[in-house]
Amino acid sequence: MLKYNSLLAGKDQQDCLYPLIFIAVMKKVYLSVLLVLAYHCGMAQLQQPSTKPNLAQQAMIKRGYGMFIHFGINTFADVEWSDGTIPVEKYNPTHLDPDQWVKTARDAGFRYVLLITKHHDGFCLWDSKYTTYDVAASPVKTDVVKAVSDACKKYGIQFAVYYSLWDRHEPSYKNQDKQLYVKYMLNQLTELFTNYGNICELWLDGGWDRKPEEWGIDQVYKLVKQFNPACAVSVNHTIVNEEGKRNFTVPADMTADNKYFFQYFPSDFRLWDPKIITRYDKKQYLHAGKSYYLPFEHTLCISDRWNWFEKSAQLPVRDLDELEELFYWCTDNDNCLVMNVPPDQTGRIREYTALAAIGLGKRLGLSLTKPLPKNGTFISALKPVKASSVYEDTAHRYEGTSVNDGSLESRWAAADTLASLEITLNPSDAFNKISIFEYKDIKQLPDGFSQVRLPRIQEYAVDIMTNGEWQTIYLGSAPMGDCKVIRLPRSYRASALRFRVTKASAPPSLYELCVINKVIGD
């Protein structure tokens, strides 16, 4: 050590540094070559047809549960969509607090935050040098994208961005040369991916306004992967029935591998906002004769009114029972869920809304160090069902078997008010939980998106067949809500379960009736 130190003194020190510098430079060159090779290998892996999750998909599946944040100029106009003409001065949060948003996400057990950076109106939540329709031109100039990104680092959760392809404000969007607007998007996405740290997901929307090939999705995908190969990228309405045709299929129909096709290629996951997949969801989808693995990411509103942007009026949130069952459904089978928890016009998430999200996380026992919890064993799935009556409709089918087919798109509808159905069970299978999703009549609200759901079933009973006799184990004397969860304090075994409607305002209808064995700790 003394000899080494003596060489670093005076002229000897200078002479000695040359070979050390050369070695350091060569190490950097070697490392750079390795990184480039690793990047291109990663890109090749991302692009290859595969029956297994790629790098981005593996990271996405591991995240599993995120918080969507709809906030922007629409928040201050009480609308869901706008056309890019709302004056920028309208954006004026009085107590803007992105730290509160992300802290809420952390406390609620979300693993990532998905921020609306630009909606269809074109208003940007960051200071973009490519437009004047952004926060920098508004009364409150805080760079919201930076504030949320910084808060994600602070609270130890990941950061994702939503970016609308459709832009109703930007002049280049209307140019006949579609590449001009693609370049605009690439410039803005470069700003997002170079100035705000690691971005784990890019959620693209609004693709219906142009032909799929006019959006430059391949250019967007390539750009994003240059910044982060593990960033998952997709476009809303990802999959279609026929290749090259905009003939959509709902996610609940995606029950066969290699049957449906990419509309937007390349993509890392499927989106159909706000549809819900079947419990028998499949993962292989086709493009140009090759098969690709694609998980599904669900989007739900915490709002009972299905509003994405918060309104000036206080609106109720969903019941915890419904949120819990939707969580289980949407995160099952290596799929993901982002739940929208929007700030209001003050720039804060309302306390009762934040508490609902946190309450759900506490009930589920969510932790960054543990896998996402599961619902239990569905002992009624695909079992024989007998309905007392079925509503006849030439355009739709409403059989009793719809209540246990694993789809929230299909439903049983009765022909009369006092109706019932029976599900055959295996008498050796134990159960201690029943969840019921009721179909409700819908009243649309003036904004064109929000809605009020009106129940039909007012009173009902649940019976089980044991020793040749029916025994009532639950009697409901009030409307069941959007999702009724019956947690039984003891386990039962039965050869059949019967659901009886004893009072209703109209012929009852159910999406799903699930008989579940929920093991403590699941």
- Which secondary structure element, helix H or strand E, spans residue 470, and what is its range? strand 469-476
| pLDDT above 90 for 40 | no
Quote the pLDDT of residue 48. Answer: 61
Rounded (5°) CA angle 89-210-277:
95
Write out the two tokens for 54.
Answer: 């790629």
Residue tagged 């760079």 (tokens): 143
What string of DSSP letters covers 144-178? HHHHHHHHHHHHT-EEEEEEES--SS-GGGGSS-H
- Give the tens place of pLDDT for each residue, 41-54: 444 445 567 889 99
Quote the pLDDT of residue 521. Answer: 60
Work out the average pLDDT over 264-288. Answer: 96
| pLDDT above 80 for 416 | yes
Q: Domains of the chain by range and CATH?
A: 45-364 (3.20.20.80), 377-517 (2.60.120.260)
Residue tagged 């609620």 (tokens): 108
pLDDT bin (cut points 50, 70, 90) of residue 249 is confident
Spatial contact of 80 and 308, defined as CB atoms under 8 Å apart: yes
Quote the pLDDT of residue 47. Answer: 55
| pLDDT above 80 for 18 | no
Report the distance separating Cα 71 and Cα 140, nearest Å: 14
Work out the average pLDDT over 170-178. Answer: 97
Work out the average pLDDT over 139-164. Answer: 98
Spatial contact of 263 and 238, defined as CB atoms under 8 Å apart: yes
Residue 362 class from Cβ within 10 Å (0-12 exposed, 13-18 middle, 19+ buried)?
Answer: middle
Rounded (5°) CA angle 435-436-441:
155
Quote the pLDDT of residue 26. Answer: 44
- Give the tens place of pLDDT for each residue, 89-121: 999 999 999 999 999 999 999 999 999 999 999
- Give the tens place of pLDDT for each residue, 342-394: 999 999 999 999 999 999 999 999 998 899 999 999 999 999 999 999 999 88
| pLDDT above 60 for 11 | no
Comparing 5-9, 187-191, 302-306, the range with the smallest average pLDDT is 5-9
Mean pLDDT, all residues of the chain: 91
Residue tagged 């064109």 (tokens): 448
Spatial contact of 156 and 368, defined as CB atoms under 8 Å apart: yes
| CA distances for 376 relative to 94, 297, 322, 380, 431, angstroms | 45, 21, 16, 12, 9
* Sign of CA pseudo-dihedral 193, 115, 122, 246: positive
| pLDDT above 80 for 439 | yes
pTM above 0.75, yes or no: yes
Quote the pLDDT of residue 445. Answer: 83
How many beta carbons lie within 10 A of that of residue 19, not counting itself?
Answer: 9
What is the chain's percent helix, strand, coil content, to nearest 5? Answer: 30, 25, 45
Report the distance separating Cα 49 and Cα 296, nearest Å: 17
Provide the terminal-to-terminal Cα distance of the chain, rounded to the nearest Å.
Answer: 59
| pLDDT above 50 for 316 | yes
Tell me, rounded to whole angstroms, the distance of Cα 398 from its chain centroid.
Answer: 28
Report the distance separating Cα 129 and Cα 148, nearest Å: 20
Quote the pLDDT of residue 37. Answer: 40
What percent of the chain is predicted at pLDDT more than 70?
90
Rounded (5°) CA angle 439-445-449:
80
| CA distances for 208 relative to 39, 178, 184, 479, angstroms | 32, 15, 18, 39
Those residues whose C-beta lies under 8 Å from the C-beta of residue 285, and which sit 6 or more positions away, are: 239, 258, 260, 261, 262, 270, 291, 292, 294
- DSSP designation for 251: G
Quote the pLDDT of residue 449. Answer: 76
Those residues whose C-beta lies under 8 Å from the C-beta of residue 28, and which sit 6 or more positions away, are: none
Residue tagged 């989808």 (tokens): 285
| pLDDT above 50 for 299 | yes
Work out the average pLDDT over 299-315. Answer: 95
Quote the pLDDT of residue 49. Answer: 74
| CA distances for 104 relative to 114, 132, 360, angstroms | 13, 31, 12
Work out the average pLDDT over 199-227. Answer: 97
| CA distances for 402 relative to 2, 72, 76, 251, 389, angstroms | 83, 40, 42, 16, 13
Largest Cα–Cα distance of the chain, in whole Å? 101
Work out the average pLDDT over 315-335. Answer: 97
What percent of the chain is predicted at pLDDT more than 90?
84
Those residues whose C-beta lies under 8 Å from the C-beta of residue 296, and which sit 6 or more positions away, are: 251, 254, 269, 270, 271, 272, 277, 281, 335, 336
Write out the two tokens for 468.
Answer: 């040749």
Residue closest to 341 by CA, chosen among 309, 374, 296: 309
**E strand residue ranges, 175-307:** 201-205, 232-235, 239-240, 261-262, 284-287, 290-293, 297-301
Quote the pLDDT of residue 3. Answer: 31
